[in-house]
Amino acid sequence: MHSETSPLTASNTPPRLRLREITKRFPGCLANDAVSLDLAPGEIHALLGENGAGKSTLVKILYGVQGADSGVIEWEGRAVDIPNPSAARALGIGMVFQHFSLFETLSVADNVALAMDRGTGRDPALLAEIRRLSTDYGLALDPTRIVHELSVGERQRVEIVRCLMQNPSLIVMDEPTSVLTPSEVEKLFTVLRRLRDEGRTILYISHKLQEIRDLCDRATILRGGKVVASCDPRQETPNSLAALMIGRAFDGPKAGKPVQVGDGVPLLAVQGLSMEADSPFGTSLKNISFTVRAGEIFGIAGVAGNGQNTLLAALSGERTAPRDDWVKFEGHSIGRVGARGRRDMGISFVPEERLGHGSVPDLPLEDNALLSGWGRWGLVRHGLIARGKSRQKAEDVIEAFNVVSTGTGAAARSLSGGNLQKFIIGREIMQEPKLLIAAQPTWGVDAGSAAAIQSALIELARAGAGVVVVSQDLDELFTIADRVAVIFDGALSESRPTHATSAEDVGLLMGGLFEVAP
């Protein structure tokens, strides 16, 4: 089914792009080790690999953001040099970046103009062209709107339109679906299939294995900077793809038995919580109610920007609720108790943003362990830090959660996303919380780490703690959660047991199709 190391050639057509023996070395690591890859016209080609496998380095070389140390890039059969992104665009290579590559305070048209090598967003010809292209592909967009007003799905349309404006024959897409609802994903796939049928080549980078099987014609798998396999993803299972990616048999998170609703003790009860957003672009909460029992994982699904941030701040105590009895923990009203007080009661919090919110980027892991666990682990005596003990605690977390790092002295910033997330989750779990609230626990994390994190959350719940997981990833919620509710425009739907509902139904709710209790 898959041949080791040598890429398959799809058919007799000459490759649009051929990478030969691309090597790129960074201090201390070989990011790309003689990577060879062929992309044929009219195919959607998946590039798969864990974090740190060398995908993004390869893409940067291809788009001229970085130079390779050695190797040859052939475009339409001719060796080319791509010193900068302008040169890549001139060849016909377009890039759809992850959503954070837009300029938020500029208009859609300005964002397009910046990537176009000419003009500004005031050019009427450009505006007309954007309108024409977006209508043509069913990607509705108003070019005069400012990007920060747009939803995540709309922002991605900007990225795609920006790329299509240059009429590229190769489109590189980096994790394009990580922030979309299932129906938005379906629409995106329709556009991508049409682009393929027009004869364009798409290099599709994702860690969502099911999507790759649905969409892609071929897949190349990178591990440790090397091409380890090339295969037809439609002939593989998600587990076999994951095994190729991580280089050993893949065991997904152990599915727990569904907890019978009603047998757990009510741990957290939110009743009628309404709260204003604290930023002009935030979403206010409207009459949110739910309960979480000990021993269950409660999932909150929803597209980003529907009030998750406000809700998380209200749950963690970073913002206190207007009324004390809107949030109850073990029967006590805690709505007006701050973050510190809630931690002391045994509530732990894993924020979405790993660097800056979940950890201090420039501090070593040891200090990051101390900052969260000093109270519960007793790491401060008479105002002085117990250095040895906090180092020991950090070591314990690193050991128990397989965190790859250079030790307890490594700065949080130096870890890969997956390893840092394992450290943060591990740090909270090892403080033995009664309730853990985790936001996007596996966002942008490689498959191996994601499975480890999900298993840890399940174990924690089975040991009797309550877990709340806020996630945009429905697969994740259906893998680990016992019940799931949807947040939309600041309101929360009724919860449903995951074994009695489907991802499609929840996907509909994510579009706002539910009644809110008055």
Partner 1 sequence: MDLLAPIMISIIAASTPLLFAAIGELVVEKSGVLNLGVEGMMLGGAVIAFIVSVETGNSTLAVVAGAAMGAVMASLFALLTLGLLANQVATGLALTLFGIGLSALLGQGYVGTPLKALPKLSITGLSDIPILGLVLFGQDVLVYLSFLVTGGVAWFLYRTRGGLILRSVGENPQAAHAIGFPVIRIRLFAVLFGGAMAGLGGAYLSLSYTPMWAEEMSAGRGWIALALVVFATWRPGRVVVGAYLFGGLTLAQLHLQGMGSTAIPSQFLNMVPYIATIVVLVLISRDATRIRMNAPASIGKVFHPDG
- Residues within the interface to partner 1 (CB under 8 A): 63-66, 84-86, 89, 95, 97, 100-106, 110, 113-115, 118-122, 146, 148, 279-280
DSSP state of 411: B
Q: Which is nearer to partner 1, 6 or 86 (CB)?
A: 86
Determine the Cα angle at 478 with ends 473 and 484, to 5°. Answer: 90
* Residue 71 or 282 having the CB closest to partner 1: 282
Residue among 64 and 433 whose Cβ is closer to partner 1 = 64
Q: How far is the CB of 84 from partner 1 (least distance, A)?
A: 5
| Beta carbon of residue 86, minimum distance to partner 1 (angstroms, whole number) | 5
| Percentages of the chain per state (helix, strand, coil), in multiples of 5 | 35, 25, 40
Q: How far is the CB of 361 from partner 1 (least distance, A)?
A: 11
**Min separation Cβ 171 and partner 1, Å:** 15
Q: How far is the CB of 123 from partner 1 (least distance, A)?
A: 9
Q: Are 326 and 272 in contact (CB under 8 A)?
A: yes
Q: Find all residues with CB under 8 Å of 411, minimum gap 6, and list them.
A: 361, 362, 363, 364, 365
CA dist 255 and 459 (Å) reads 10
Contact 91, 64 (CB under 8 A): no
**Shortest distance (Å) from residue 497 CB to partner 1:** 42
- Residue (115 or 370) nearer to partner 1, CB: 115
- The region, left, alpha or beta by phi > 0 then psi within -120 to 50, assigned to residue 279 is beta
SS3 91: helix
Contact 394, 405 (CB under 8 A): no
* Strand partners for 300: 470, 485
386 near 415, Cβ under 8 Å?
no
- Least Cβ distance, residue 225 to partner 1 (angstroms): 17
The two beta strands, 466-471 and 297-301, are parallel
The pair of structure tokens assigned to 348 is 């732990």
Rounded to a whole number of angstroms, the CA Rg of the chain reads 24
Tell how strand 78-80 and strand 70-75 pair up: antiparallel
Looking at beta carbons only, is 63 or 443 nearer to partner 1? 63
Region of 103 please: left (phi>0), alpha (psi -120 to 50) or beta.
beta
Phi and psi of 241, rounded to 5°?
-65, -45
CB burial string 192-207: b at 16+ within 10 A, e below: beebbeeebbbbbbbb
Number of H helices, E strands in the chain: 16, 24
**78 sits in which H/E element:** strand 78-80
Q: Min. distance of Cβ 478 from partner 1 in angstroms? A: 34
What's the min distance (Å) between Cβ of 122 and partner 1? 7
CB of residue 95 to partner 1, shortest distance in Å: 8
Question: Per-residue DSSP letters for 139-176?
Answer: ----TTSBGGGS-HHHHHHHHHHHHHTT--SEEEEEST
Q: How open is the CA angle 483-488-493, to the nearest 5 degrees?
A: 40
- Cβ 362 to partner 1 shortest distance, Å: 12
Q: Between 63 and 478, name the residue whose CB sits nearer to partner 1.
A: 63
